[in-house]
Amino acid sequence: MPRPHFVIPAYLPPLHLYRHILREASYLPPAIRPEVTHRVRTRFRSHRKYDRHQNRHRAAAVNLLRKLRAANSGKQTLMEDLIMEAFGRTGARRRSLLSDFIQLEPPSNSDALEALIQGVEAHEKLPETVELKATKLQNDSSPPKPAETAIESQISTNSPEDTNETPGNGEEPKEKAPLVRKGPKPLQPAFYAKWDTEKLRKLLRSQRDLQQSTRLSWPHRDIKNLQPDSKVPSQTIWGKPTPPNIYQAKRAKFWKRNSDKTMPPLGKDEWDLLGRLSSGAQQEDQWKVPERRPVAKPSRGATTKYEAWDWEGYASRPASQVERQSPLSVYALVGRDTEKHPYQPRFNHQEYSPRWFRRAYQRVWQFTPKMDPNSKPDRLKFIWGALTTPAVPPTKAQLAIFEGVDSKGKKPKPPSRSQRAPYSQSRTAANPLDTQKS
C-alpha cells in the first residue's frame, strides 16, 4: 500500500484525531480490522463526556495513529503486533479472554449451591468470632493488684455520683471503653480465590507440553513450574510453622506470574478462520488488504496562492533548516516525501506479499489453542494450531543431484588397491601370446 497522502498536523482536536484513526484502520487487513475498530470506538466513547487524563489519552491516540500509518505503509513488525493483539495473544483482548476463561462456573445442583452459601456465611461470621474471643480474654483476666484496688477505691469515693456533682454541661459522664488487645486480622481471600485455578492449571500444563515439544519463539517466557506451593518455605527463620499469610502471598505471586504467560483459547469459528488464513486464505477477495483511496479533490478548480520566497531565511540559515517544514515526530515510522524534502532521511517502502501474511498468521496460529469439543468438563483438552503443509515430491532434475551419494550426501570414496577384486588369472599363468624360453 502506498504512503499516506498527507502528514499528521502538529495538533489535532480529539474528534478529528478519532476520525483520522478510524480512516487509517479501514486500510488494515479485514481479518483484524473489526477488533481494532471496536477497541478504538470503545475507548473513545468511554471518555467522551468527562476525561481527567485528556492530554495523556490524546498523546496515546497520536501514537496509535502513527502506528497504524506505519503498519499500512510496510512496517512489518508493527503489523505483526496488530495481528497478535487482534487475535488475543497480547494486549487488552488477551486479558479479556483470560478473565472469561478463568471465571468460576455457577453451581450446577442444589448441594453445590448450599455448600457455597455455607462458605460465605462462615467467612462473614469470622470477624464476630474474633471479637467474642477478645471479650472472653477480658473477662477471664486476673484480678487487680492491691495497690490498684486502693487507687480505684479512692477514685470511687471522689466520684461525682457520691458527691452529687455533675459535669458543667449537665450531661452524665460516659464510661471509657476498655482497651482490649485483639488478635490478628482475619486473612482476606486473595484475587485467585475468584478464579477457576484447576481449569487454568490444565491450560498451563498443555501449553508447557507444547513448549517442551516444539522450538517456537513465544511472546513470553516458557512455563517451568506448575506447583503453587513450590516456593513456600517449610518453616520460618525462627523454626516455627509457616503462617497462612505467607502461603497466600507465594500462591498469589505464582498465579500472577503464570497468568501473564497464558495463551487463552479462542472460539471455534475464530480459530478455524485463523487456520484458513495460515493456509493461504489471504489471497481470497474477502481477505485482501484494501487499496488506499484517492485523495479528495475540490469539485471546482482551486487556485493556488503565490508563496513569497523567504530569501532572508536562506541568507541567514542553512537550506536544510529552512526547508524542514515539520519535526521528525510527524513522520515517525512512516518516512518523509523525499521529493519535497530532499534533506530528510530516506524511507524504504515495503509491500506485504501473500506469503508474508501467511507466515505471520501461521506464527499466531501456533500460539492459539481451542477447547476440544469431545473432552469432558473434568478432563479438559486443548488443540493447538500446527502446520500441516504437505510435502511436495521432488522433480527429476532435483533428484539428479542425489545420484551416486550416500545417506549423508557424500560421494563414496573409490576402493584402495588392497580392497580391489583379485585378478582373474594368477601371475604364474603363462601368457599364450608369449613364446616359451628355451
Query: Burial of 321 by CB count in 10 Å (0-12 exposed, 13-18 middle, 19+ buried)?
Result: exposed
Q: Where are the alpha helices (DSSP H) in 177-299?
A: 197-213, 244-259, 268-278
pLDDT tens-digit readout, 175-227: 777 776 776 778 888 999 999 999 999 999 999 999 999 888 898 889 999 99
When pLDDT is averaged across residues 319-335 and rounded to a whole number, the result is 61
Q: Crossing angle, helix 76-86 and helix 54-72, to 10 degrees?
A: 120
Report residue 71 as a C-alpha cell. Answer: 503498519
- Give residue 243's identity as a one-letter amino acid code: P
pLDDT of residue 357: 94
CA atoms of 90 and 81, how far apart (whole Å):
8
Q: Return mean pLDDT, the chain.
A: 79
Among 60-69, 250-259, 363-372, 373-382, where is mean pLDDT lowest? 373-382
- Give residue 121's identity as a one-letter amino acid code: E
User: Of 74-83, 156-165, 315-324, where does the model show the most confidence?
Assistant: 74-83
3-state secondary structure of 384: strand
CA atoms of 64 and 2, how far apart (whole Å):
19
Count of beta carbons in the 10 Å neighbourhood of residue 11 = 9
Q: Is 17 a residue whose pLDDT tops 90?
A: yes
Please say whether the beta carbons of 100 and 199 come within 8 A: no
pLDDT tens-digit readout, 119-167: 777 766 655 554 544 445 445 444 444 444 444 444 444 444 444 455 5
Q: Is 171 a residue whose pLDDT tops 70?
A: no
Q: Where are the alpha helices (DSSP H) in 158-242?
A: 197-213
Q: Where are the alpha helices (DSSP H) in 26-124?
A: 33-46, 54-72, 76-86, 91-101, 110-124
Q: Is 15 a residue whose pLDDT tops 80?
A: yes
pLDDT tier for residue 78 given thresholds of 50, 70 and 90: very high
pLDDT of residue 51: 84
pLDDT of residue 161: 46
Q: Crossing angle, helix 126-139 and helix 110-124, to 10 degrees?
A: 40
Q: Structure pTM? A: 0.69
pLDDT tier for residue 87 given thresholds of 50, 70 and 90: very high
CA atoms of 132 and 135, how far apart (whole Å):
5
